[in-house]
Amino acid sequence: MIVIVDADTIIGQTDPADALHTKVSEIFERLAKTNTRLLYPVTAVAEANAYIQRVSKGTATTHDTIKLLVSESELVEVNGNTVKNALKYFSPTTSKKNTLFDCIVAAIAEEKQADAIFSFDKFYRKKGFKLASEL
């Protein structure tokens, strides 16, 4: 199976104080047992880093966390075609919470024919994707 990892999951994965940390950990354990391939869009890593850096007590911890994540994860590059494909998921009536970053994750999920997106954002279900929690 292939699962695309979104920023909210990265935040929950790296921050034990995050409200989603326990759920994220449980789902990661389940996915590990099935040898699921986890793909991390570089944009999701950057988005998570920005959030973590804003709420953490210092940039050194954020730097080390993201450095570890990047070195141990399978990253997916984002190119112009991915961004163009993402635009079909983006609209003027989209919620302020559903940014182009989310649309890029959806486009990557489509491009990679992913089985699910690892996120807790209902946006993806509305766009026809399965969430990792449903696997």
Which of the four pLDDT bands, split at 50, 70 and 90, describes residue 2?
very high
Any idea what DSSP says for residue 131? B
Q: What is the pTM of this model?
A: 0.92
Contact predicate 40/74, CB 8 Å: yes
Work out the number of other CB atoms within 10 angstroms of the CB of residue 3.
26
| Residue-wise pLDDT tens digits, 13-23 | 888 888 999 99
| Residue-wise pLDDT tens digits, 80-104 | 999 999 999 998 777 777 899 999 9
24 pLDDT more than 70:
yes
Q: Which domains does the chain have, with CATH numbers?
A: 2-134 (3.40.50.1010)
60 pLDDT more than 70:
no
Mean pLDDT, to the nearest integer, of 43-68? 81
Mean pLDDT, to the nearest integer, of 36-44? 96
Which of the four pLDDT bands, split at 50, 70 and 90, describes residue 59?
low
* Percent residues over pLDDT 90 in the chain: 71
